[in-house]
Amino acid sequence: MDKRTIRDIDVSGKRVFLRVDYNVQFDDGTILDDMRLRESIPTIRALQECGAKIIACSHRGRPGGKVVEELRNAPVAEHLGRLLGQPVRALRACVGPEVDAAVAEMHSGDVILLENVRFHAEEEDNDPEFARALASCAEVFVCDAFGTAHRAHASVVGVANYLPVVAGLLMEREIDYLERVIHPVRPFALILGGAKVSDKIGILENLAAKADLICVGGGMANTFLKAQGIDIGASLAENDRIEDALRVMRQAALRDDLRLMIPTDVVIADPGGERANTVSVNRVPPGFRILDIGRQTIEDFRDALQTMNTVVWNGPLGFFEREPFDRGTIEIARALAFLPHAITVVGGGETAAAVQRAGVADRISHVSTGGGASLEMLQGITLPGVAVLLDR
Ligand code: ADP
Ligand code: MG
């Protein structure tokens, strides 16, 4: 990575404005998925070892520039405190006298969490005065909020106008792995799924030229099947994307070194959504819906993946939220986990959740914490929150 990190700057004893992405959900006071909190711990520990005072800042949800009681950061601070084994003080403001007073009382290694920064409309407007106010409590800006790096908001990019800004360790790891996909060691495979072609066509356009294998599953594969004249019953498809699917298939056919795989068999649900069975793609009865890739397709994808050196996956291969339509997604997650020597990278919010559910997240080289941010990077877009980091 050509950006500076916390290893390249002196933070000893300094007040650090640490932008994190703790945009997490709670159900009745219990955190649903604390991956983003856990992934931020190494950066916090490293800063603490240097004797820094850590002023953490995050948004949560979409409060739309006003205070929403359910979106306060206090429960996040409590959970973070449990993970760190020390209390994390939650403030009820992110700028102003309450923050100044709290920061003045901090000791080395202390962590405080500012209030939800999106309670101020100035955050999303990237208001310079608001950014200056956020920055005023600190001497250094460490950005670890990869999940928000595609947003040019005040606490992500604006603060960098007033403080030197470097990447935290999570940000560094995210950028490193996504760069290894954008410049892959071949053979390189792209696995794409999810609901729509329109969400993924940008990734295809950016990475197909470097790919040796493209596996298409999920709802988006239906559009590819339909483009081949196959009757997909009542399955989800995008008629206005058939041309895109045809173009991808035509381009792949022209290249000897690229194999494009689409499902040959599928798991379908009857019109009532009650019964599921597996059929060849040519045998989808009217009114039935394709909700997963079939056994043979799983086998074929898995076999083709064995020789790959780099694999990136975005988009579940079926309606994985409901059994038995999670089979394809889970089997491919396992296949990735047991590839002998490949670098494996998973991007996208739902795909990351699916890999966690398959229980193999720790056997994947990198599961991105950034849904939208990782997708934009895979599309070749420069993220504002990355661009703003100091160059090495
Ligand atoms: P990510 O968040 O990882 O980028 P997407 O948002 O693109 O993934 O897609 C996830 C959604 O796609 C899931 O909610 C999943 O149920 C849905 N999906 C995948 N395959 C199908 C299918 N065959 N029919 C309907 N929905 C599907
Ligand atoms: Mg999604």
Residue 371, pLDDT > 90, answer: no
pLDDT tens readout for residues 41-73:
999 999 999 999 999 999 999 999 999 999 999
Res 1 pLDDT > 90? no
Angle formed by the axes of helices 35-49 and 74-84, to 10°? 60
103, pLDDT greater than 90:
yes
Beta-carbon count within 10 A of 341 CB: 8
CB 199 near ligand 1, within 6 Å: yes
- Does the beta carbon of 385 lie inside 6 Å of ligand 1? no
* pLDDT recorded at residue 253: 95
Domain identity same for 127 and 150: yes
Task: Give me the DSSP letters along 199-255.
Answer: HHHHHHHHHGGG-SEEEE-HHHHHHHHHHTT---TT----GGGHHHHHHHHHHHHT-
pLDDT of 272 > 90? The answer is no
Both 152 and 202 in one domain: the answer is no
Whole-number average pLDDT of the chain: 96
307-337 pLDDT per residue, tens? 999 999 999 999 999 999 999 999 999 999 9
350 in ligand 1 pocket by Cβ < 6 Å? yes
For ligand 1, whether the C-beta of 371 sits within 6 Å is: yes
250-262 per-position pLDDT tens digit: 999 999 999 999 9
Mean per-residue pLDDT, 349-366: 94
CA of 110 to the centre of ligand 2 (A): 35
Question: Closest Cα to residue 370, out of 388, 392, 345, 391?
Answer: 345
Residues acting as catalytic residues: 36, 196, 349, 372
Does the pLDDT at position 340 exceed 90?
no
The predicted model scores a pTM of 0.93
Mean pLDDT over 141-153 rounds to: 98
| pLDDT at 25 exceeding the cut of 90 | yes
| Residue 15 falls inside a structural domain | yes
Residue 93, pLDDT score: 98
What's the average model confidence in pLDDT over 14-26? 97
7: number of Cβ within 10 Å: 11
Instruction: Answer yes or no: is pLDDT of 274 > 90.
Output: no
* Residue whose CA is at the smallest distance from ligand 1 atom 16: 319
Q: What pLDDT score does 20 carry?
A: 98
Domain assignment of residue 236, yes or no: yes
Is residue 1 in some structural domain?
no
Instruction: Please choose, from the candidates 89, 104, 88, 100, the residue with its C-alpha nearest in 3D space to the C-alpha of residue 133.
Output: 100
Residue 189: pLDDT over 90: yes
How close is the Cα of 369 to the center of ligand 1, in Å?
A: 17
The total domain count for the chain is 2
What pLDDT is recorded for position 331? 98
Q: Look at residue 218 and tell me whether its pLDDT is greater than 90.
A: yes
- Give the pLDDT of residue 361: 94
Answer yes or no: do 137 and 200 share one domain: no
Q: What kind and span of H or E run contains 171? A: helix 169-182
Per-residue pLDDT of 104-138, as tens digits, reads: 999 999 999 999 999 999 999 999 999 999 999 99
pLDDT at 90: 98
Q: 162 and 21, same structural domain? A: yes
**What pLDDT band is residue 275 in, cutting at 50, 70 and 90?**
confident
- Looking at the fold, whether 44 and 152 belong to one and the same domain comes out as yes
Looking at residue 56, which CATH number applies to its domain? Answer: 3.40.50.1260
Domain of residue 311: give its range.
184-378
Q: Which of 172, 200, 229 is the last residue of a domain?
A: 172
Asked if 148 and 212 sit in the same domain, the reply is no
| Among protein residues, the one whose CA lies closest to atom 10 of ligand 1 | 194
Segment 279-310, tens digit of pLDDT: 999 999 999 999 999 999 999 999 999 999 99
Tokens of 115: 């209030």
